[in-house]
Structure 1
């Protein structure tokens, strides 16, 4: 059973000097030793100045997101966020899933952002880059603190996750949902346990994700099943079964996005196919190229999530038919913004003149 997703830990050369001089660290010996000890997950505390990421992409139905963590221990081999580690001189491979960064000050930064006079509420998306409920959330509880602030201020929030750990926060999510302030998207790519372990080695098992979907739905939280990514020749045959499973678990919507392989993700995925699906490798890669203009990735706006070609058209038609069969919506983002109230001052932050009290 694999314990990590990426098959290599090669460094990117997009931001690094390709002529790096060996300095005796473990990376210089990684390729020379097959029996390296198991990788330990390390976490570095990060102190960003801003916490909300803004976007103007026409492909995404939200304009702001919050990522509590950088890197993701789930180890999904196809993760489009892997190249972000290259920008920091780390490998998009094993470093991305074992050398993580946490932002414990996220809720305090968000409180300050919400308190600004010009701030206008809109859905705050979590889980758009890395999973807010990856294993280290049990230690840091950053996502929980952000949800508590959203509850306090009546701010709408959406969550995308592959983890059943989200049920730890079911009470606050149910409370938010009662005012139409929260929705959850569970990403489930396969119902086959062996394939899930290979593709997403540290994410919750498919049956646990379905159980989480069922529990959230039963608690009144609007839920969506995300069958993403769909990989032609690997998990695309499960599309209808996954939509049916999501509907049976109470999902109100279903989405599905074909695989994207930006930058360093493409060679990582190819190496993963060599190990786990060598007989299907050529078929899978050729199908991806057929829907991406002959390449493994098409980064253009309006094309990233909507590829071309016969396979892509068939995929869209199958998804639409499966939705109709089970009465599911294409998306569920209808959250309220009119209930928002500015947050109270953080009691840990003294006022400007508090320290100059003349009566002290």
Structure 2
């Protein structure tokens, strides 16, 4: 059953690469261009997964559990992580799939992200991480505090996201000129035709739902997750302990493989070596990502996508502070480059504008 982790990861990496599903871009665009289209697409993933995860819980396929809310570590870690993804040019999952496209900068960010996640979780800084995450409050999710059914929150989330999607679909969009199709049928759809942001989000949400029972079947009682599997992969390379190679480790390996297949099939794979400044940003951004994700208890997947779908305080608090951290990162690295005069819109640097 462990092989299902690799399959789910390949599907996730393929879809995110072809859909150009960039969480960093979603958070950054809120501040730089005041555009919420990709943030809305991200919330579509959360809403779709929320329906599925509570249905699985109600059916007894999985059992959702809650624990104390480590509020201090979540706030600090979420903010650090949000800032870091702007430096690194991608969040945890984005870094994995951009690495599969051949971006050397993403390879570097991925290495330091996984390394520092391990340092925080099981290495020299594990005591600090544990101490920070021991500052808690008992309440862990919204519906238990209000003593209502979680389906009330599911309905509100789905309705709110549906209205936001409708708003974006009703806005006029510019059609970009595209070269004539060179593929036909399924190959054209999978590797050539641009994917709609909201359709991509629905598919990712369905993959996230499927991850729950498949992961549980192997004894890993969780859904999608990137930080702990990345830490486990580093620890496996150091210790050789085969127990560390679980469903999650195969998941992240699958993301790399799936994104490579997608990039190769669409002609988007090529080795791209960054300049020195980008190398420094990638390494430092990756390190801060590992630190922030470990403190917060998850990255944009484990916290902002999976925990939010369960309406946990940790997930939604992390999401808010990740967006705030990304805002600071964007202001320091992107928005300060705006021209001091003139009424024209600011241009986002090419590297920052590219979905990662």
**Structure number with higher helix proportion:** 2
TM value normalised by structure 2: 0.24
Higher relative contact order (CA 8 A, sep 6+): 2
**Structure number with higher strand proportion:** 1
Decide which structure has the larger Cα Rg and report it: 1
TM value normalised by structure 1: 0.24
